[in-house]
Every structure is written in structure tokens, then in C-alpha cells.
Chain A
Amino acid sequence: MDDLRNIAIPTDPEEALAAVVALRRLADRIERGAVRSALRQGWSWARIALALGVTKQAAHKRLSDMAADDSPA
């Protein structure tokens, strides 16, 4: 894992903002993958929400399609 002290924040705002966009996208992907795994392991939405530090309603609203995507075709 990268040491956060090694992260160099660009001084050029365009580069720094592009990094923010890429980080958000990466975080979204990690989140979706983790929620999918959690659902497969039988986690409840309440437990997922607690782990993400959001309300159950917020987690369900944003990520509930993971349950639908996960169901057998």
C-alpha cells in the first residue's frame, strides 16, 4: 500500500483537480466492489451503512442496485 506521506499533491490546480476526480472514481469502484462482497457474505444494509459511516437509507439509495446486479439472471 502506498504510504500517504509519499503522495505528492500537484501544485498545478488542473492536475490536482484531475487527481481528485480520479480518486473519487477509484473510491466509487472500491466501494461498489466491497459492498458487492459484503452482500454476498450476507451483510445487512444496516451493517454496510455503519461500516461506510452513512445512514442505512443513504447507503441503500446509492448502492441498492448492487443487490439487483448480484441476483442470479
Chain B
Amino acid sequence: MFKRIRSKLHDMGTIKRLCERAEAHALHDQQREPGAEHFLLAALDLPDGTARLAFERAGAEPDALKAAIERQYGDALQSIGLMGNVPDEMPLSANPGTYQAAPSGQAIMQELAATRRDHAPLLGAHVVSIVAGLPQGVAPRALRALGVDPAVLKSSADAIVGTSVR
């Protein structure tokens, strides 16, 4: 029982760090509400290192994800014939008040909550597995722009999660 309480406290700390990093990535991306792609970037920042490991085992370079997210926006604009430079990034401040994620970010948090009994403890690889399972959106497009098959990444993350269960 004591172990379970300790694990729960640990997971709360991980979720706090995940949300804070996701928000920081979103603000850097000039968005107030973090989406799934920002939670994926945040998972790569977690100290357990399992998200980065999942990327590496799937043959993807984790540090290239941010550029891939940007690239898929450019690709989408090019697909309709728009070329040109996107205005430079400008600082964005955090939303005052309660934490608010974008719908795709909310979906990640809801899935993490729904599967919390399987976390022992919560790892970056859990987040990677959920995001890589999304069928649509910026995150799967960015993964494809990165040259990684989301299904392969999900399998890689699930394998890491599987070996971490105690």
C-alpha cells in the first residue's frame, strides 16, 4: 500500500512536469493551449528517458521532432500552393488562470487518466504510446515528416512500458 501511495505521488509529479513542459513548448510555438505534439515534446523532456528511448528504437531522432512539427505546417501550406516565410516567432505569455490544453492535448491527458492503473510508474513512453496512436492531427503528421511510422513508434513505446512494469 505504501508503495502504491509513493507511486501515485511520483506520477503526480510527472504529470505536473509534463503539463508545464507542454505549456512551455506550446508558448514557444505561439500557442496558448498545448496540443498532443507539445505533450510529445514534453515527454521527451522527462528525466526517465523512456520517450527518447522509444524514438531511438523506432529509428527516429528525438531532437528532430520540433523541426518536423514546423515542417509539416510548411508542407501543408505548400500542398495548397502557398510558399513563403512564416513571420518570426514572438514571445507569448502564459494564460492567466486555470491550465487549459487544446482538444488534442486534453485527449492525451484523458487517456493518461483512464489508463493510470497501468502506470507503475507513469513514464514518458506512456505518453509516446498514446500520441503515436492518434489517427489524425499535427502529431502524427509531424511523426511522418520525421520519417517514422507512428505504429512502429507506438510498438517501441509499448515494449518499453512492458519491460518497466514491476
A binding-site residues for B, Cβ under 8 Å: 2, 6-10, 14-15, 17-19, 21-23, 25-26, 28-30, 32-33, 36, 65, 68-69
How many pairs of residues, A versus B, come closer than 8 Å at their CB atoms? 62
Q: Which of A2, A30, A65, A69 contacts B82 (CB 8 A)?
A: A2
Residues in B with CB closer than 8 Å to A22 are 73-74, 76-77
Residues in A with CB closer than 8 Å to B87 are 29-30, 33
Question: Which residue, of A22, A30, A32, has the highest number of chain B Cβ atoms within 10 A?
Answer: A22
Complex contact B81–A7 (CB within 8 A): yes
Interface residues of B in 65-98 (CB under 8 A from A): 72-74, 76-77, 79-84, 86-87, 90-93
Counting contact residues on chain B (CB < 8 A from A), the size range is 20 to 34
Complex contact A19–B80 (CB within 8 A): yes
Query: Is B126 an interface position by the 8 A CB rule?
Result: no
| Distance of B121 from chain A, by nearest CB (Å) | 34
| Distance of B60 from chain A, by nearest CB (Å) | 20
Residues in A with CB closer than 8 Å to B83 are 2
Q: Which of A26, A33, A69 contacts B77 (CB 8 A)?
A: A26
A15 to B75, CA, bound (A): 10
| Distance of B84 from chain A, by nearest CB (Å) | 8
| Distance of B95 from chain A, by nearest CB (Å) | 9
Complex contact A10–B77 (CB within 8 A): no
Beta-carbon nearest neighbor of B74 in chain A: A22
A10 to B77, CA, bound (A): 11
Q: Which of B73, B81, B90, B141 contacts A8 (CB 8 A)?
A: B81
Interface residues of B in 106-146 (CB under 8 A from A): 136, 138, 141
Complex contact B79–A10 (CB within 8 A): yes
Query: Is B164 an interface position by the 8 A CB rule?
Result: no
Q: Which of B30, B31, B93, B141 contacts A18 (CB 8 A)?
A: B141
Complex contact A9–B80 (CB within 8 A): yes
Complex contact A32–B76 (CB within 8 A): no
Complex contact B73–A69 (CB within 8 A): no
Residues in B with CB closer than 8 Å to A14 are 136
